[in-house]
C-alpha cells in the first residue's frame, strides 16, 4: 500500500485510526549517483554488479545526515513531540562527530529498557495561534563499520531475561513451537540450535516483500503465509530461538548497497560514485538479529539476506557485512520521555506525535537519510 493515501486530517480520532490501519513507516533506497537511479529494495545489501566475495569486504567509513521535517501539522495541534534515533558505538561500529541541529530546544535521552539513544524535541504551541510552524531536526555523524563475527560477552540472569521477551507480534504459537522442534530436534547447544533454525527458516520461507501484510514481524502471520521480508524472517528466528531458551537481540538499522567495482576491479572511494540517500516511506528498513551463546557471546545472523539466492548465503550465519549501520535494538520500544501512542514495534525512524496522538508519516512529517562513503577497506 503506498504512503500517499494518508491524507492530513485535523480530526484526532481519524488520525489515530488511519495510523493503525496503515501500519508504520519504513525506508526505500534511492540510489542517487552511487548506483543507477532506479529505486532499490531497502533490504538489498548486495546490489547488482557488486562483488560476490563477501569475506573480502572488511570495513566501510561513511558520513550520514539524518533529517526529519515536520510539516503540515493539524490546525488544532498544540503539543508536538519528535523522537529521532541516534546510532550507538559498539564492537561493530564507531560513531564520530555527532552534531544535532534544531532551532527548537532539544535533548538527548535514552530509553529505559534497551538504552537506545535519541534526540527528543518538544514544540509547545498556544491555543488560538493557528497551525504550528514547520520545523526540522537533523543529526549528522560519521560511521565506521567493520565486518563482524561473534562478539564475546557475559550475560547475567537479569540481562538474559530482557532478551527473552516476546511481544504481541513476536510470539510463540503452536506452529512456531512445532517449527522449532522440527528443525532444532534434540540440539541444545545454542550455536547448533541457531544454525539449525537459521537453515530451517531459509528452507521454510520465501523472500517476498510484495505480499500484503508482510513486514510486521507477526509470527502467526508468517507461519500461515511462509513468506515475507527481513522483519518477518527475524521475528520467526527470534521466537523460535526463545522457545528453546536462547536469548535473542533484535538489531535495527539501515542498509547501504555494497560498493561496485570499477572496470579496473577496484572499488570507488569518495566522490559522486559513493553517495546516495535513503528516504523514509512505507517499504521498510533493514533488521538483523544476534543470539547468545555462552561459549561465543553474541552471534549475528541475517536470515533474509541469506535467502536471496546467493551462493554464499551461509556467510550471514555468524557474520555481517559492513554495508549497514545500526540505530537501535529491541522491539516494543517505549521512548524517553514516553510517547502517548503505542510502543514502537521497532525504532529505526524518527517518530512524531501531536497532543499524544501519532502524526501521519508523509502527511505530517518525513524522514530523509543521506550518506557519503569515505573509505572502503577489503583484503
Task: Give dist(CA 91, CA 299) in Å, integer.
Answer: 12
In the block, cell 516476546 appears at 166
Note the pLDDT tens digit of each residue in 272-293.
346 777 755 445 589 999 999 9
State the pLDDT at residue 12: 38
Grid coordinates representing 49 are: 554488479
Least Cα distance to 97 among 64, 139, 141, 67 occurs for 141
In whole angstroms, give the CA distance from residue 248 to residue 49.
33
Q: Which of 60, 3, 36 is nearest to 371 (CA)?
A: 60
Pairing of strands 351-354, 297-301: unpaired
Closest CA to 283 of 205, 364, 361: 361
pLDDT (0 to 100) of residue 2: 32
Q: How far apart are CA 90 and CA 95, in angstroms?
A: 9
Sign of torsion over alpha carbons 146, 271, 29, 368? positive
Q: What angle do CA 71, 75, 76 make, to 5 degrees?
A: 120
Give the residue from 254, 302, 290 showing the smallest Cα distance to 28. Answer: 254
Could you give the CA distance from residue 187 to residue 189 in angstroms, rounded to a whole number?
6
Q: What is the CA radius of gyration of the chain?
A: 21
The residues, any chain, with a CB within 8 Å of residue 346's CB and separated by 6 or more, are: 24, 217, 231, 250, 252, 285, 287, 328, 330, 331, 333
Q: Residue 8: what pLDDT? A: 30
DSSP states along 114-167: T--EEEEEEEE--TTS-SPPPEEEEEEEEEEEE-B--B-----HHHHHHTT---
Pairing of strands 227-228, 135-146: unpaired
Residue length, the chain? 379
User: What is the structure's pLDDT at 44?
Assistant: 43
- Where helices occur in the chain by DSSP H, the ranges are 12-22, 157-162, 174-184, 190-204, 219-225, 230-243, 303-306
Residue 59: the pLDDT is 94
User: Could you tell me the mean pLDDT of each successive run of 10 residues in the chain, 379 residues long?
Assistant: 31 44 38 30 40 77 95 87 97 98 96 97 71 89 97 95 96 97 97 98 92 88 94 97 98 86 49 58 76 98 92 92 96 97 94 93 91 89
The pLDDT value given to residue 279: 54
CA–CA separation, 180 and 172 (whole Å): 10
Contacts of 129 by beta carbon, 8 Å cutoff, 6+ apart: none
Amino acid at each position: 500500500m503506498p504512503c500517499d493515501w494518508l491524507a492530513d486530517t485535523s480530526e484526532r480520532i481519524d488520525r489515530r485510526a488511519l495510523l493503525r490501519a496503515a501500519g508504520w513507516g519504513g525506508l526505500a533506497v534511492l540510489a542517487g549517483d552511487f548506483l543507477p537511479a532506479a529505486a532499490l529494495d531497502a533490504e538489498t545489501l548486495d546490489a547488482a554488479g557488486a562483488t560476490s566475495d563477501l569475506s573480502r569486504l572488511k570495513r566501510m567509513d561513511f558520513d550520514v545526515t539524518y533529517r526529519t521535517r515536520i510539516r503540515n501539522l493539524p490546525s488544532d495541534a498544540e503539543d508536538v513531540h519528535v523522537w529521532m534515533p541516534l546510532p550507538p558505538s559498539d564492537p561493530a561500529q564507531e560513531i564520530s562527530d555527532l552534531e544535532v541541529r534544531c532551532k527548537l530546544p532539544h535533548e538527548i535521552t535514552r530509553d529505559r529498557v534497551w538504552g537506545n539513544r535519541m534526540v527528543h524535541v518538544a514544540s509547545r504551541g498556544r491555543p488560538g495561534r493557528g497551525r504550528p510552524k514547520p520545523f526540522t531536526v537533523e543529526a549528522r555523524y560519521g560511521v565506521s563499520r567493520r565486518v563482524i563475527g561473534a562478539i564475546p560477552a557475559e550475560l547475567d540472569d537479569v540481562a538474559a531475561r530482557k532478551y527473552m521477551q516476546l511481544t504481541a507480534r513476536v510470539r510463540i504459537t503452536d506452529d512456531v513451537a512445532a517449527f522449532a522442534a522440527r528443525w532444532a530436534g534434540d540440539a541444545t547447544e545454542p550455536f547448533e540450535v541457531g544454525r539449525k533454525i537459521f537453515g530451517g527458516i531459509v528452507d521454510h520461507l520465501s523472500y517476498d516483500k510484495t505480499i500484503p501484510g508482510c513486514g510486521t514481524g507477526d509470527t502467526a502471520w508468517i507461519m500461515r503465509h511462509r513468506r515475507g521480508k527481513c522483519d518477518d524472517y527475524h521475528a520467526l528466528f527470534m521466537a523460535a530461538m526463545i522457545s528453546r531458551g536462547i536469548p535473542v537481540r533484535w538489531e535495527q538499522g539501515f542498509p547501504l548497497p555494497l560498493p561496485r567495482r570499477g572496470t579496473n576491479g577496484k572499488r570507488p572511494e569518495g566522490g559522486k560514485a559513493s553517495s546516495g540517500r535513503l528516504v523514509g516511506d512505507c517499504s521498510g528498513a533493514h533488521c538483523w538479529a544476534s543470539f547468545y551463546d555462552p561459549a561465543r557471546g553474541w552471534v549475528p545472523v541475517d536470515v533474509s539476506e541469506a535467502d536471496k539466492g546467493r551462493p554464499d548465503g551461509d556467510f550471514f550465519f555468524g557474520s555481517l557485512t559492513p554495508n549497514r549501520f545500526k540505530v537501535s535494538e529491541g522491539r516494543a520500544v517505549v521512548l524517553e520521555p514516553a510517547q502517548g501512542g503505542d510502543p514502537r514495534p521497532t525504532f529505526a525512524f524518527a517518530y512524531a506525535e501531536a497532543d499524544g496522538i501519532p502524526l501521519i508519516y508523509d502527511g505530517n512529517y518525513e524522514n530523509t537519510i543521506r550518506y557519503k562513503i569515505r573509505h572502503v577497506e577489503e583484503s
